Amino acid sequence: MAGLFSTDSKLYRFMCRLTDLVKLNFLWLVFSLPIVTIGISTIAAHYVALKIAEGQEGYIFHDFIKAFKENWKQGIPMSFISIICVWALYLDFQLIANAEEHQVIFLITGIVAAYIFVFTMLYAFALLARYENTLLNTLRNGFNISMRYFLRSALLVIIVAIELAAMLWSPKTMILILIVGPAFVMLTVCSVAINIFRDIESKNPESVETNEASEQNTDE
């Protein structure tokens, strides 16, 4: 039993990881409350999640606050972009449900728009958390990476969809959103993203230099 609760045991490491995710989830929820800051808090949460995915030791609160302060210029526009795109998709599918004519056109438009939005945003926040770049280039890179690693990205979308469906399954399971859900989803994305980023960095050494500079600025 002593070995089960030792600092080297799998149970201990699992509980530490779970505790970190609960802390990260709490910070993300609190700092997202003004709504307009949801983009900043999501970038900050991805920054912490990338560190967790890489197995780096750190302080959840300190790392989150630092990343939050560093990314507000790009985070606020990302908030509005995300909200507007989600709202537009919602309106489109409402039209599909209520329109008496042109339902097929609305359906095709909605599917294409959803496809572009999902595969653009899939890695966008992780890219903003790891690299210094313009917002437009980040969105473009997010979509290009999704297409370049399409099978891996499509599988990730399916996994994230299953995780979200599980959280939204019933009022009882929705409590997971308050406890750990969003942070768990972001860690899922970052666990895949970090391997893709490493592969890209190995083929493009200049991106590693940008990443190191970004991390130095964040740690100062």
Query: Is 213's pLDDT higher than 70?
Result: no
User: Which residues fall within 8 angstroms of residue 133, CB to CB, at 6 or more apart?
Assistant: 127, 141, 210
Choice between 10 and 116, residue whose per-residue pLDDT is larger:
116
Note the pTM of the prediction, 2 decimals.
0.85
43: phi then psi, degrees, rounded to nearest 5? -65, -45
**Does residue 6 have a pLDDT over 80?**
no
Please report which confidence band the pLDDT of residue 69 belongs to, taking 50, 70 and 90 as the band edges.
Answer: very high
Residue whose C-alpha is closest to residue 137's, from 207, 193, 67: 207
Please report the pLDDT score of residue 158 as a whole number: 97
What is the chain's mean pLDDT, rounded? Answer: 86
Q: What is the pLDDT of residue 214?
A: 46
Cα–Cα distance measured from residue 13 to residue 21, given in angstroms and rounded to the nearest whole number:
12
Tell me the mean pLDDT in the region 149-170: 95
Question: What is the mean predicted confidence (pLDDT) over 131-141?
Answer: 94
Top pLDDT among 94 and 135 is at 135
Contact of 29 with 169, CB cutoff 8 Å = no
CA angle 159, 161, 166 (to 5 degrees): 95
